[in-house]
């Protein structure tokens, strides 16, 4: 390819709207341009990198036996209503009605479509297992799209769906995807961790996230200092404190706590540490009241609560809920909650007794609250938000929170979709059984952004050679010098014929502009042909990743670039 006949516009200045390096550099290097909030045009350089990622993904999917098809983006709402996702996704779903007033949506994932296809076409256990995948744009109406390709509203995803006869088969298909994903992210040269995760709006049970390490990442994971535990922060389960036998429980006493509607205020007023308080958080779950109890120094992890109550949508009480259901905000306590409310407690609540908690009237708390004497707990669940320094559930070691970008997510779905959609096959014994499913996503456009986060410096991008838009650039440093032009062309031709993905910068720009652009775009290997070098019979080479410079004779320049490329990350 010749840059003179290509479209690779670069920006000298940092775009004001870009808050993170990948966003800034993908804009500056001419990989993408914004069209609306969270919606981008992929420019030719970005498209080349995206296609390289797609190719890696396709090769590893095919190697694992998956079969490619392509499902629509524009979907009818009815199957989504059947699975409950139409409601569950809330405002995150792009909804529209067609000219005949039929509800439609833009697909964020495709479980409903693929399940209906498989149910129609693969009715027998002999047709299973099967793994169907596609690479297609997906849609999520994020409340606050930001960080360029990291949190977009239109993004390119590979999504695969496995269908098995039984749970054992589902787990085998899952493991095959787990292995394929390792190969994919390894080939993309990403630094990543694989963690237990939380299923969110997809549903199901066991699932893992592939998280590319990144300082700017919004996806938090937890790792044990001893290296034996890794989890998504929202799914991480700390080792709960042991139950301490405090002997005879204190009596329940009502105390006056004026203007002390927060844990900190009560704690200061009574001279007791926050962990002695029992925090009672109220939620609405499909119209029912759910109380969640955690120690006063902890927060509720709402993602865990959503999972416990799945598929019922859940939201914190608002002002109206408190008023209508007769609770006093800031002074709620679990004693006196009637049978209408479900009372859930985090495991850590087992570690305490003689709690201070709200008295269910303004400006009052109680002390010496104990279960089951004073209040009921319907169920203990893991509901607490993990924090730095919590104890590892495996060995009690110290947990640390790390930041990352989720680039892959695989799920064991079981019958989460086949059940409500009535998608069954005829098993060997003649009975109808729902398919055991799995769902497996990879963010193609996100991999590009994550790679840009991991591979850049002050001069620009330095993407790994597997992802860079071109592997080698040949720069003509003196465009007016005919001998330079001739040597540039010769080296470009030699590299092309060797199968190297090479571009020649034959534009009529100053050498300095070309060097800066080559660093900004981050071609892994640069060859510079200039007047002085041609006179001396040499070309200059640079390995972008390290900045190491070297020289080769003009006749050996292509050969030297190939060697340098093989050493490039």
Which residues are near its own copies by CB under 8 A?
A: 5-7, 9, 33, 35-36, 39-44, 47, 50, 65, 67-76, 91-92, 94-96, 98-99, 102, 104, 106, 113, 116-117, 120-122, 130, 132, 137, 139, 141, 143, 153-154
Residues contacting 69, CB < 8 A, separation 6+: 132, 133, 134
Q: Can you tell me the distance from the alpha carbon of 418 to that of 437, in angstroms, rounded to the nearest whole number?
A: 8
DSSP summary character for residue 391: B
Sequence-distant (6+) residues with CB within 8 A of 439 are: 109, 111, 159, 160, 161, 162, 202, 204, 410, 411, 413
Shorter beta-carbon distance to its own copies: residue 57 or 529: 57
- The secondary element (H helix, E strand) that includes residue 346 is strand 342-346
Which DSSP helix (H) or strand (E) runs through 495? helix 482-497
CA torsion angle for 551, 556, 559, 565 (degrees, to 10)?
Answer: 10
> What is residue 390's DSSP assignment?
P
Q: How far is CA 440 from CA 160, 384, 557, in A?
A: 5, 27, 44
Nearer to its own copies, 4 or 259 (CB): 4
Closest approach, Cβ 39 to its own copies, in A, equals 5
Query: In 3-state terms, what secondary structure has residue 493?
Result: helix
Q: In whole angstroms, how close is the CB of 83 to its own copies at the nearest point?
A: 15
Residue 41 or 567: the one with the smaller Cβ distance to its own copies is 41
**Strand ranges of the sheet holding 74-76, from the earlier edge strand across to the other edge:** 74-76, 103-106, 95-97
| Residue closer to its own copies, measured from CB, 70 or 323 | 70
Shortest Å distance, C-beta 13 to its own copies: 14
At closest approach, how far in Å is the CB of 486 from its own copies? 23
Indicate the residue among 39 and 225 with the shorter CB distance to its own copies: 39
* Beta-carbon count within 10 A of 397 CB: 17
Least gap, CB of 481 to its own copies (angstroms): 21
Q: Which is nearer to its own copies, 7 or 372 (CB)?
A: 7
Q: Which is nearer to its own copies, 135 or 541 (CB)?
A: 135
As measured in angstroms, the least distance from the Cβ of 3 to its own copies is 11
For the CB of residue 86, give the shortest distance to its own copies in the complex, in Å. Answer: 14
Q: What is the nearest approach in angstroms of its own copies to the Cβ of residue 477?
A: 20
* DSSP, residue by residue, 73-126: SEEESHHHHHHTHHHHTGGGS-EEE-TT--EEEE-S--HHHHHHHHHHH--BGG
DSSP letters spanning 308-319: HHTTS-EEE--H
Of residues 107 and 217, the one with the C-beta less far from its own copies: 107
User: Considering the complex, what minimum distance in angstroms separates the CB of residue 14 from its own copies?
Assistant: 16
- 277/466 Cα distance (integer angstroms): 54
C-alpha separations of 555 from 469, 480, 494, 526, 537 in Å: 26, 21, 10, 16, 8
Nearest CA-CA partner of 548 in 474, 467, 466, 462: 462
Nearer to its own copies, 138 or 409 (CB): 138
> Given the complex with its own copies, which of 37 and 486 has the nearer CB atom?
37
Quote the radius of gyration of the chain (alpha carbons, Å): 29
β 502-505/472-476 pair status? parallel
Would you say 92 or 531 has its CB closer to its own copies?
A: 92
Shortest gap between Cβ of 61 and its own copies (angstroms)?
12
* Sheet (strand 253-256) strand order: 253-256, 364-369, 355-358
Shortest Å distance, C-beta 348 to its own copies: 35
């Amino acid at each position: 390819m010749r840059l003179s006949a290509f479209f690779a516009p670069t920006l000298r200045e940092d775009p004001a709207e870009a808050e993170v390096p990948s966003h800034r550099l993908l804009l500056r290097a001419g990989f993408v341009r914004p069209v609306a909030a969270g919606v981008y045009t992929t420019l030719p350089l970005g498209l080349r990198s995206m296609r390289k990622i797609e190719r890696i993904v396709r090769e590893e999917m095919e190697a694992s036996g998956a079969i490619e098809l392509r499902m629509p983006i524009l979907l009818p709402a009815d199957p989504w209503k059947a699975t409950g996702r139409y409601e569950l996704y809330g405002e995150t779903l792009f909804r529209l009605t067609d000219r005949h007033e039929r509800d439609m949506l833009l697909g964020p994932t495709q479980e409903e479509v693929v399940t209906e296809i498989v149910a129609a076409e693969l009715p027998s256990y002999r047709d299973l297992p099967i793994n169907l995948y596609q690479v297609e744009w997906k849609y999520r109406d994020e409340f606050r799209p930001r960080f360029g390709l990291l949190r977009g509203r239109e993004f390119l995803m590979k999504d695969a769906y496995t269908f098995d006869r039984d749970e054992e088969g589902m787990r085998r298909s899952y493991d095959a995807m787990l292995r394929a994903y390792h190969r994919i992210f390894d080939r993309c040269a990403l630094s990543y961790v694989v963690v237990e995760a939380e299923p969110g709006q997809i549903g199901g049970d066991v699932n893992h996230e592939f998280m590319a390490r990144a300082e700017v990442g919004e996806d938090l994971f937890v790792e044990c200092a001893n290296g034996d535990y890794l989890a998504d922060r929202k799914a991480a389960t700390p080792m709960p404190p042991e139950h301490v036998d405090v002997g005879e429980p204190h009596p329940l006493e009502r105390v006056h706590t004026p203007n002390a509607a927060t844990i900190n205020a009560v704690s200061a007023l009574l001279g007791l540490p926050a962990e002695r308080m029992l925090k009672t958080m109220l939620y609405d779950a499909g119209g029912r009241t759910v109380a969640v109890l955690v120690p006063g120094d902890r927060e509720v992890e709402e993602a865990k609560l959503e999972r416990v109550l799945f598929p019922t949508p859940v939201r914190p009480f608002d002002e109206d809920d408190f008023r209508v259901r007769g609770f006093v905000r800031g002074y709620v306590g679990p004693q006196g909650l009637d049978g209408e409310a479900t009372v859930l407690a985090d495991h850590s609540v087992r570690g305490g007794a003689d709690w201070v908690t709200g008295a269910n009237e303004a400006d009052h708390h109680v002390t010496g609250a104990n279960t089951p004497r004073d209040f009921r707990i319907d169920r203990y669940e893991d509901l607490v938000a993990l924090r730095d320094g919590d104890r590892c559930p495996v060995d009690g070691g110290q947990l640390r929170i790390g930041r990352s970008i989720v680039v892959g997510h695989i799920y064991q779905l079981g019958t989460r979709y086949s059940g409500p959609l009535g998608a069954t096959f005829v098993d060997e014994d003649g009975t109808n059984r729902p398919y055991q499913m799995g769902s497996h996503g990879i963010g193609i456009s996100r991999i590009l952004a994550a790679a840009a986060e991991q591979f850049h410096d002050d001069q620009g991008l330095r993407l790994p050679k597997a992802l860079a838009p071109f592997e080698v650039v040949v720069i003509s440093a003196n465009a007016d010098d005919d001998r330079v032009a001739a040597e540039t062309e010769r080296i470009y031709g030699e590299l092309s014929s060797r199968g190297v993905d090479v571009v020649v910068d034959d534009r009529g720009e100053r050498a300095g502009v070309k060097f800066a652009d080559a660093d900004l775009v981050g071609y892994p290997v640069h060859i510079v042909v200039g007047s002085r070098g041609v006179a001396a019979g040499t070309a200059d080479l640079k390995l972008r990743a390290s900045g190491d410079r070297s020289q080769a004779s003009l006749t050996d320049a292509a050969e030297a670039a190939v060697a340098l490329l093989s050493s490039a990350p």
